[in-house]
Amino acid sequence: MTSRSLKVLVTGANGQLGAELVNLSAEGFDLQGFGRDALDITNLKQCREVLSAYQPDVVIHCAAYTAVDKAESEPDEAFRVNAAGTRNIALAARESGSKLCYVSTDYVFDGRGTIAYNETDPTNPQTVYGKSKLAGEQAVSSLHDRYFIVRTSWVYGKYGNNFVKTMLKLAGERDQLKVVDDQIGSPTYTLDLAHFLLELVRTDYYGIYHASNTGVCSWFEFAKAIFEESGASLRLEPCKTDEFPRPAPRPSFSVMDHSAIRVNGLTDLRHWRDALIHYLKDDKQ
């Protein structure tokens, strides 16, 4: 006897991760994506109506305000989406009896660490974006009792704009490039993250998780690997963050420890370089 498919509602279905999820052919899942046109998360009434009508087993909440620099000049909008919007989804999910998986970020930490951040380490966001995402985490944990909070970092994939696509584009336009080497973290391939999220939401191992591809690199090392694996030839030079001032400070250390994945016996994500190779091959097809 086969168990029925798990009904999963994905918010932010037009974003990088949301699009990856809804386009997966995942056995045992009935994935339904909602973009902003079909589900405005800042509208509590609409959140309640959509979830009540669809009755999902799980909501994977990918919709977010992600313009890190722009958030510094429009904090109200960042909080309206990331905090109030997440509160609305948490309330509607609880009322419809759905589990909730909220995708969060390494930006909830201050980025000043020297050892990988554990799920239980104190948060201390330094940007409006990070503060608004942490407010979303707090809404989820206070309003819902069956939740997963999944913090990730340096996301790229097939859908939407990202660092890998930018590097490949620049490789076709320039013969030399400078990339910062004093920000350290772990790239995350949306395909691998999507598969992890689906494995996670099948369980009742609720709580906070850190999920990125394994291994650590700087943006410079990541760019170097992109060019090596794609066969692009240009001169790449390391530089420092202060050479490229941005409205929102970037964390210099974004490495996260995956202890919750290990403790709960879940499948960790593959090494970031293996994931990059897969992405570049897949992108060519």
Q: Give the percent of the chain with pLDDT over 70.
A: 98
Q: Give the percent of the chain with pLDDT over 90.
A: 94
Local confidence band at 72 (pLDDT 50, 70, 90 cut-offs): very high
What pLDDT score was predicted for residue 282? Answer: 83
Is the pLDDT reported for residue 194 higher than 80?
Answer: yes
Q: Which amino acid is at 251?
A: P
- The rounded radius of gyration (Å) of the Cα atoms in the chain is 19
Q: Of all helices (H) and strands (E), which one includes residue 198?
A: helix 190-201
Span 4-55, pLDDT tens digits = 899 999 999 999 999 999 999 889 999 999 999 999 999 999 999 999 999 9
DSSP 8-state class, residue 249? P
Compute the distance between CA of residue 181 and CA of residue 177 in angstroms, rounded to an integer: 13
Is the pLDDT reported for residue 152 higher than 50?
Answer: yes
Structure-token pair, residue 29: 């899942």
Q: What does each C-alpha distance from 73 to 45, 57, 64, 161, 171 come to in angstroms?
A: 28, 37, 17, 22, 31
Mean pLDDT of 54-63: 98
Span 199-236, pLDDT tens digits = 999 999 999 999 999 999 999 999 999 999 999 989 99
Q: What does each C-alpha distance from 52 to 45, 144, 152, 240 come to in angstroms?
A: 10, 16, 29, 50
Mind listing the domains of the chain with CATH numbers? 6-162+186-214+255-271 (3.40.50.720)
Structure-token pair, residue 179: 């990339």
Instruction: Provide the residue count of the chain.
Output: 285
Q: How far is CA 246 from the centre of its chain?
A: 21
Local confidence band at 284 (pLDDT 50, 70, 90 cut-offs): low
CB 38: neighbour CB atoms within 10 A?
Answer: 13
Compute the distance between CA of residue 259 and CA of residue 7 in angstroms, rounded to an integer: 28
Mean pLDDT of 161-182: 94
Span 111-150, pLDDT tens digits = 999 999 999 999 999 999 999 999 999 999 999 999 999 9
Span 85-117, pLDDT tens digits = 999 999 999 999 999 999 999 999 999 999 999
Compute the distance between CA of residue 154 and CA of residue 179 in angstroms, rounded to an integer: 15
Catalytic (active-site) positions: 129
Mean pLDDT of 244-271: 96
Is the pLDDT reported for residue 2 higher than 70?
Answer: no
Strands (E), the chain: 6-11, 29-34, 58-61, 99-105, 147-152, 155-156, 176-180, 184-185, 188-189, 207-210, 217-218, 235-239
Structure-token pair, residue 23: 């386009």
Local confidence band at 1 (pLDDT 50, 70, 90 cut-offs): very low
Burial (CB count <10 Å: 0-12, 13-18, 19+), residue 60:
buried
Q: What does each C-alpha distance from 195 to 67, 198, 210, 230 come to in angstroms?
A: 25, 5, 14, 24
**Which comes out higher in pLDDT, residue 184 or 234?**
184
Q: How is the chain split among helix, strand and coil, in percent rounded to 5?
A: 40, 20, 40
